[in-house]
Amino acid sequence: MPAGSAVARLILTDVQLTRERAWETLTRYTASEALRRHALAVEAAVRWYARRYGDDEDLWRVTALLHDFDYEIHPTLDKHPQDGAPILRDEGYPEEVIEAILSHAEHLDLPRDTPLKRTLFACDELSGFVHACGLVRPDGIDTLEPKSVRKKLKQPSFAAGVHRDEVYAGAELLGLELDEHIRNVIEALRPIAPELGLRTAATADTPGAA
């Protein structure tokens, strides 16, 4: 790569590693509303943990938003997320973001040796599952409790695409009891329930509400 290109990439990384830029990248490659909502859910959960740990909130949000950015164009394990990595490099995203995204994929068998990597993996499947639980409840996740989520986890036909083993492994990776991790993710998602297409107690009886 020419030296000028390398410098330009460093400038892009330093100046534009923002949530807004990540959202623009995500929506440019992802048209599916369901995938966008999944990205928002994972972002909210990962951000919650960034605050808990006192870590870099912007870095963690960007990583979470982009973790499946290429899924629509690379929907198979031989391509996702590994074929998305060069795209992110060309767009100027730092290796810390890219390595964390790659590490969330079980089939790549990469080490999860940073808090960000562990948190992204732990929040990915569970955020999707909590979201699914909220979609079938009259008040979304307003009154959702961990015991209800655990009960649903034991029903293979419910949200069948969610890998239960990764949900359990994620909590263990964070060193948390499953109920605590579930409770944290629910708390993280509640403020953005409308963005996720979930009903709330306030809209439960409103005709036409999500």
pLDDT value for 14: 47
Residue 23: the pLDDT is 98
Cα separation, 164 vs 97, in Å, equals 25
- pLDDT beyond 50 at 9: no
Print the SS3 string covering 124-170: HHHHHHHHHHHHCCCCCCCCCCHHHHHHHHCCCCCCCCCCHHHHHHH
Which tens digits make up the pLDDT trace of 79-120? Answer: 999 999 999 999 999 999 999 999 999 999 999 999 999 999
Q: 107: which DSSP letter? A: G
Q: What angle do CA 132, 136, 140 make, to 5 degrees?
A: 80
Q: Dump pLDDT digits (tens) for 121-146.
A: 999 999 999 999 999 999 999 999 99
CB burial string 75-106: b at 16+ within 10 A, e below = eeeeebbbebbebbeebbbbebbbbbbbbbbe
d(C-alpha 65, C-alpha 59), whole Å: 10
- The confidence score (pLDDT) of residue 107 equals 95
Query: What ranges in 30-143 are assigned the alpha helix state H?
Result: 33-53, 57-66, 85-90, 95-103, 115-135
> Domains plus CATH for the chain?
3-196 (1.10.3210)
Please tell me the pTM assigned to this model: 0.89
pLDDT computed for residue 156 by the predictor: 97
